Amino acid sequence: MCTVVVEVPDRPDDPTRVLAVRDEDPLRAWDPPGEWWEAHPGVIGVRDRRAGGAWLAADGSRGALAVLVNRATPPLDPADAPESRGTLPLAVIAGEPVPERPRTEGFNLIEVDGGRCRVTSWDGSELSTQQLRPGVHMIAHDDVDDPRTARIRRWLPEFAALAGLPNDDWREAWLGLLRSTTAVGPLDDQAIIRDNHPYGIPTMSLLICTAEVREGAVDLDSIVLPTPGVWAG
């Protein structure tokens, strides 16, 4: 139940801004942003040690970033031998297309290319791609900007109000707003920094990434939460 906020610029020569909050089982081993994949030199990302894939991957030389959010879909039949979704961010960063019928559970895959952004969604039966218009968007486990998702309904207008800030100010402002969202508590359905156990999912917010993506450059920062599901200050 990760959350991604994206600001797509009016002009494609300007950078795209990204705030991504990773929710995962705290007992599942992972690595923070780094160059973890010999088959993908120059790519930095957040690695899942168990399956070897990425939650987020970025290639600064291309000015490209991809981040994966699990989508709420019925589970696949184990007989279908689902593949890890973590292969997808690495594949699209390498320029490979998303398969027409992925052998994975559902997902929303956010792909940033300089000043452009698109979201590819797989609900287990249909694959769709949406080019995001300029402005601020939120993506979680349903559709883009979906008001059915409580945290999007609650916080998207406030993130949208921060659009167009100067390059030196946006990170501080976005992280300040993220901090203010924690007032609802991690168990609230409106929470972005979350503890998903009440929903039968053993995941909690573990990592915050911010990125500014422009042609030929990715400026990526990250904050590991020392206590899962709790704002780090």
Query: From the first residue on, what is the mean pLDDT of each consecutive set of 10 residues in the chain (233 residues)?
Result: 96 94 96 95 95 96 96 71 88 93 93 96 93 98 96 98 92 97 96 93 96 96 96 78
pLDDT score, position 125: 86
pLDDT score, position 233: 65
Q: What are phi and psi of 35, to 5 degrees?
A: -90, 95
Do residues 209 and 54 make contact, with C-beta atoms less than 8 angstroms apart? Answer: no
Within the chain, residue ranges assigned H as helices are: 87-93, 150-160, 170-181
pTM exceeds 0.85: yes
